[in-house]
């Protein structure tokens, strides 16, 4: 049996927005893509159970990462609610042939967590804002 598994530390993720590019994976703790979509009710006439058809994609990405003390306000602005840009990520890293996902997105929310006597982190949620492109590095 082949050993094709990889650890989460192989993740490479970047957020490209009008102010520049932020590599999210540098101090990332979690990165989750939820591929969801809307449906249309297609139930009619003599149907005895509900029928639906696929409609719009409504994916969502959430990430939690550590904040560094040298982060400037430009970086904070990158994750301001409403900021639009493109998320690019590869769960298995950026080696040739590895999966690569490109997603137009908009920051839906960001939360800075400042616990007493522990590391400071940020949680960001992006909403899909266009068609996802699946490819390879």
**Please, are residues 97 and 132 in contact by the beta-carbon 8 Å criterion?**
no
> pLDDT at position 47, please?
84
- Which residue is associated with the tokens 């639009």? 84
Examine the pLDDT at 52 and tell me if it is beyond 80. yes
Condensed to tens digits (0 to 9), the pLDDT of residues 76-100 reads 789 999 999 999 999 999 999 999 9
SS3 118: coil
Q: Tell me how far CA of residue 94 lies from CA of 12, 14, 42, 52, 113, in angstroms.
A: 7, 12, 42, 38, 30
Tokens (6 digits) for 84: 């639009």
Residue-range domains of the chain with CATH: 9-37+52-136 (2.30.300.10)
**CA atoms of 126 and 62, how far apart (whole Å):** 6
Condensed to tens digits (0 to 9), the pLDDT of residues 3-35 reads 777 777 889 999 999 999 999 888 889 999 999
Examine the pLDDT at 104 and tell me if it is beyond 80. yes
**CA atoms of 102 and 118, how far apart (whole Å):** 33
SS3 58: coil
> pLDDT at position 81, please?
96
Condensed to tens digits (0 to 9), the pLDDT of residues 109-121 reads 999 888 898 888 8
- Within the chain, strands assigned E span 12-17, 20-23, 28-34, 37-41, 52-57, 60-66, 84-90, 99-113, 121-128, 133-136
> pLDDT at position 120, please?
86
Minimum mean pLDDT range among 29-38, 49-58, 67-76, 99-108? 67-76
């Amino acid at each position: 049996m082949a050993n094709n598994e990889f650890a989460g530390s192989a993740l490479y993720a970047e957020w490209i927005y009008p102010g520049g590019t932020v590599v999210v994976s540098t101090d990332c703790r979690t990165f989750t893509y939820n591929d969801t979509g809307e449906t249309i009710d297609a139930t009619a006439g003599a149907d005895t159970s509900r029928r639906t058809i696929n409609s719009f994609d409504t994916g969502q990405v959430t990430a939690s990462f550590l904040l560094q003390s040298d982060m400037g306000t430009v970086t904070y602005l990158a994750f301001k609610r409403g900021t639009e840009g493109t998320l690019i990520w590869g769960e298995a890293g950026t080696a040739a042939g590895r999966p690569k996902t490109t997603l137009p997105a908009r920051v839906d929310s960001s939360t800075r967590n400042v616990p007493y006597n522990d590391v400071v982190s940020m949680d960001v949620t992006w909403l899909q804002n266009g068609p996802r492109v699946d490819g390879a590095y």
